Amino acid sequence: MQDQLKKIKRSLILPVAVALSVFILVEVNYPFLRPQSRLAFFALLGLIIVFFKYPLHPKLADNPLIDILDFGLAFLSFVCFGYVILQTEPIFESLWLNDTYLGNRASAEHFLDFLIGGVALILILEATRRSIGLTLTILASIFLFYALAGQYLPGWLFEHRGFPLKRVIGKTFLHGGVFGVALRVMFTYVFLFVLFGTLLERTGATAYILNLAKKVFGTSKGSPAKVAVIGSGMMGSLSGSAVANTATTGTFTIPLMRSVGFKPEIAGGIEAAASSGGALVPPIMGAAAYMMLEIVEPSVTYLEIIKAALIPAIFYYTALLLIVHFYAKRISNPASSENQKEPEQSSLQEDSVEKLPKIQGIVFFTAFVTLIVFLLKLPGADASGTDESPFLLSFFGFLLRASTPYRAVSWALLVVLIVSVFHPKTRVSMSGMMKAMENAAHSGVSLIAAASCVGIILGVVELTGIGTKMASTMVSLAETNLIYALFLLMVSTIILGMGLPSSVCYLLVAILMGPVLQELNLEKIVLAVHFFIFYFGMMSMVTPPVALAAYTAAAIADANIMKTAFAAFRFSLVGFALPYAFVLRPELLLLSPEGGNPEIWNLLLNLSVTLIGTVIFAASMAGYAFKEMSLLERGILLIAVLCLFFFSTSVGYLWIHVLAILASTVIFYYNWKKEGTHHATVT
């Protein structure tokens, strides 16, 4: 009986997943349901897959009673969300309670409405616990308790008059909340891009990306780690998930890094840092870019978002590449203190690196060049003769034609299928297409559950007004110090992001902290502040103690979890400094502090200062500049970086930048001369 139940569950997932993908493709482009109905059907299919895919507990996966429970929960999901459709769509008007559709029954709900809503909230919390973990489930439960028991709380916990259970259910499920902006963003944008990414993988995009990165770096020092950085960045742009990206590309890159001398925790840390930054990379950018379309006020276009994301992504991956390069140079030196601690890994084993064609003239903008190469089809096909660039160009081309993102990706999906037919290596069969839809559902249903759960929190926030109270408290603490206010925003984002996907963290914080942004008087550069939140939501994936991307990398590398987490944190520290830089200097996002486009002089000045700071930062983190540096030298360089990133480039502060650059130049020169003297002595 147990085997039979499991077989039925597995056989049902495929048709439900295909139905989910087809429904979204059709409904997004040619809507035929009311807004609440389409979101209810979206959540219905998503929760059914969650209950079939994720067990109540891993240790109970083989218990037949648990399988029966899963079927019961899936059926209840069908009943609860089907009820919303039944009470919303005009075709079922004869079945409407009180002869009124659900949206018009606010404050006059039927008892059955509340019963269905209460059960649905429990289902959403359980689906989130199974697919995401306890963090978001506990947070949503705390918010529900806050809504119900606000009158019993002390003043410092934002007390309020409290609301009856019926009012809370109405606000969080029946009229908004779950069917609000969070689930709408997942439906309108995110799932389609998840499907686009899985279809690209089906046509060989993963192999193409890794092969392209290998061609760029060839046999240069630490090339496997550089391949990991660029490959993970490109793949992360497609998936938007740091954990999934680490699991996918890390399977190839981590063993390769270990084979040439990188310690397990370092290999895992590099992969986790690179994978976590993938959602920064235009043009796909995972899910956050599409959320910004709905949340940022005044509204922005998709092209404005990817334009603003370009330079920060270049600097993030430039810093990672430089850290990897300096670190590889450091551990290749037998006299390095790193190798005195680990004699069995005394240097990089260059002869074990796969001999690949090397492209000369690589400069600090390798990340940018590689991205352009990837989009514009410069190097052509890989060894198998396949070429993925037309697939991404199709999507980017539709965007440039001013199509909406969901329409662009819908057309791009069609182009992918047509183009893939012309080569046997990329051809997608009908079964392959269905498998891609199933994979998209597997990747996307956890986000559906998470978005529904975030909707509960947002419903409570709107009902109680806690968002405005939190904003006034934060602003009063920060007073007139913008950096302190940003620091508090950073801490809030990282704490809320522990255990959450970065896109879900951004969605939650951006809406919760919306009033804060208004109080800080940053309307002219509101997009910069949204990027600030998004960056730190992403950095929560590599911030100990809860660093999910690093945990995944540690499992692949067979390394100590906390050592890998701290290594990933160290390699991605530039991601903690850059957000402050582009809020204080919005020119880095191609924005002017007064709004509009920046002046070319200010743009070039800020780019130059930030690039110099990125190079200095990489040397400080790796502890190497021509030779291994002392802790004092690394400390001075780190202080110089903070000056370059945190102080304005206005005339009044230019002397600080000059001093920081001079101090760094002296250290670099001293190390260069000392290394030259050492070589002369050896000779």
Asked if residues 139 and 457 have their Cβ atoms less than 8 Å apart, the reply is yes
Q: Is the pLDDT of residue 145 over 90?
A: yes
Residue 61 Ramachandran class (φ > 0 left, ψ -120 to 50 alpha, else beta): alpha
Q: Cis omega (within 30 of 0) on the bond before 255?
A: no
- What pLDDT was estimated at residue 120? 96
Q: SS3 sequence, 314-376?
A: HHHHHHHHHHHHHHHHHHCCCCCHHHHHCHHHCCCCHHHCCCCCCCCCCCCCHHHHHHHHHHH
Give the Cβ contact number of residue 90 at 10 Å: 9
The distance from CA 287 to its chain's CA centroid, rounded to whole angstroms, is: 7
Q: Is the pLDDT of residue 505 over 70?
A: yes
- Mean pLDDT lowest among 72-76, 100-104, 190-194, 574-578: 190-194
Q: What angle do CA 130, 133, 138 make, to 5 degrees?
A: 110
- Identify the burial level of 227 via C-beta atoms within 10 angstroms of its C-beta, where 0-12 means exposed, 13-18 middle and 19 or more buried: buried
Beta strands in 116-264 (DSSP E): none
The distance from CA 640 to its chain's CA centroid, rounded to whole angstroms, is: 29
Q: Cis omega (within 30 of 0) on the bond before 405?
A: no
Q: How confident is the model at residue 45 (pLDDT cuts 50, 70, 90)?
A: very high
Higher pLDDT, 122 or 422: 122
- What pLDDT was estimated at residue 342? 47
- What pLDDT was estimated at residue 380? 38
Distances (CA, A) of 151 to 145, 154, 155, 158, 486: 11, 8, 9, 9, 31
* Residue 109 main-chain phi, psi, to 5 deg: -70, 155
Q: Is the pLDDT of residue 351 over 60?
A: no
Instruction: Give dist(CA 672, CA 665) in Å, integer.
Output: 10
Instruction: Give dist(CA 349, CA 346) in Å, integer.
Output: 9
End-to-end CA distance of the chain: 77
Q: Is the pLDDT of residue 167 over 90?
A: yes
pLDDT digits (tens, 9 = 90+) for 94-103: 999 988 889 8
- What pLDDT was estimated at residue 214? 66
- What pLDDT was estimated at residue 584? 84
- What pLDDT was estimated at residue 529? 84
Q: Is the pLDDT of residue 387 over 60?
A: no
Higher pLDDT, 242 or 83: 83
pLDDT digits (tens, 9 = 90+) for 213-247: 666 666 666 677 787 787 777 776 666 667 777 77
Residues 6+ apart with CB under 8 A from 346: 261, 334, 339
Q: Is the pLDDT of residue 85 over 80?
A: yes
- What pLDDT was estimated at residue 169? 95
Query: Hey, what are 85's tokens?
Result: 């459709």
What value does the mean pLDDT take over residues 118-133? 93
Q: Is the pLDDT of residue 43 over 50?
A: yes
Asked if residues 664 and 600 have their Cβ atoms less than 8 Å apart, the reply is no
The distance from CA 319 to its chain's CA centroid, rounded to whole angstroms, is: 19
DSSP 8-class letter at 668? H
Hey, which of 44-48, 343-347, 622-626, 646-650 has the most confident mean pLDDT? 44-48
Mean model confidence pLDDT for the chain: 78
- What pLDDT was estimated at residue 397? 52
- What pLDDT was estimated at residue 677? 61
Instruction: Give dist(CA 510, CA 355) in Å, integer.
Output: 47
* Beta partners for residue 627, in sequence order: 625
Asked if residues 245 and 236 have their Cβ atoms less than 8 Å apart, the reply is yes
Asked if residues 268 and 550 have their Cβ atoms less than 8 Å apart, the reply is yes
Distances (CA, A) of 50 to 83, 243, 344: 19, 18, 46
Q: What percent of the chain is predicted at pLDDT more than 90?
A: 17
Give the Cβ contact number of residue 58 at 10 Å: 8
Q: How confident is the model at residue 390 (pLDDT cuts 50, 70, 90)?
A: very low
Asked if residues 40 and 123 have their Cβ atoms less than 8 Å apart, the reply is no
Q: 3-state DSSP call for residue 547?
A: coil
Burial 173-195 (b: 16+ CB within 10 A, else e): bbbbbbbbbbbbbbbbbbbbbbb
Alpha carbon dihedral 167, 172, 173, 176, in 10-degree steps, equals: 110
- What pLDDT was estimated at residue 474? 67
* Beta partners for residue 624, in sequence order: 628
Asked if residues 265 and 554 have their Cβ atoms less than 8 Å apart, the reply is yes
Q: What is the pTM of this model?
A: 0.70
Question: What is the chain's Cα-based Rg?
Answer: 26
Hey, which of 39-48, 440-449, 487-496 has the most confident mean pLDDT? 39-48
- What pLDDT was estimated at residue 402? 44
pLDDT digits (tens, 9 = 90+) for 273-306: 888 887 777 766 666 667 787 788 777 877 788 8
- Identify the burial level of 157 via C-beta atoms within 10 angstroms of its C-beta, where 0-12 means exposed, 13-18 middle and 19 or more buried: exposed
Q: Which helix (H) or strand (E) holds 512?
A: helix 502-512
pLDDT digits (tens, 9 = 90+) for 258-282: 876 788 898 889 888 888 887 777 7
- What pLDDT was estimated at residue 647? 80
Q: Is the pLDDT of residue 627 over 70?
A: yes
In 3D space, the residue among 610, 622, 606 whose CA is nearest the CA of residue 577 turns out to be 610
Q: Is the pLDDT of residue 350 over 50?
A: no
- Mean pLDDT lowest among 347-351, 535-539, 669-673: 347-351
- What pLDDT was estimated at residue 423? 66
Higher pLDDT, 633 or 379: 633
- What pLDDT was estimated at residue 456? 92
Instruction: Give dist(CA 366, CA 212) in Å, integer.
Output: 12
Q: Which of 140-147's residues contact partners 24+ apart within 8 Å by CB, and which partners?
A: 140/453, 140/454, 140/456, 140/457, 143/456, 143/457, 143/460, 143/461, 144/168, 144/172, 144/456, 144/460, 146/460, 146/464, 146/466, 147/172, 147/460, 147/463, 147/464
Higher pLDDT, 326 or 211: 326
Higher pLDDT, 472 or 574: 574
In 3D space, the residue among 496, 473, 461 whose CA is nearest the CA of residue 143 turns out to be 461
Q: Is the pLDDT of residue 376 over 50?
A: no
Instruction: Give dist(CA 113, CA 111) in Å, integer.
Output: 5
In 3D space, the residue among 539, 551, 566 whose CA is nearest the CA of residue 276 turns out to be 539
Instruction: Give dist(CA 45, CA 21) in Å, integer.
Output: 10
Q: Is the pLDDT of residue 479 over 50?
A: yes
Asked if residues 568 and 523 have their Cβ atoms less than 8 Å apart, the reply is no
What value does the mean pLDDT take over residues 124-153? 90
Question: What is the sign of the dihedral through the CA atoms of 598, 600, 601 and 603?
Answer: positive
Q: Which residue type is seen at 502? A: S
Query: Hey, what are 278's tokens?
Result: 């993938």
Q: Is the pLDDT of residue 113 over 90?
A: yes
Q: Can you spell out the DSSP letters for 611-634?
A: HHHHHHHHHHHHTEESEEPPHHHH
- Mean pLDDT lowest among 401-405, 508-512, 606-610, 650-654: 401-405
Higher pLDDT, 118 or 542: 118
In 3D space, the residue among 200, 183, 406 whose CA is nearest the CA of residue 302 turns out to be 406
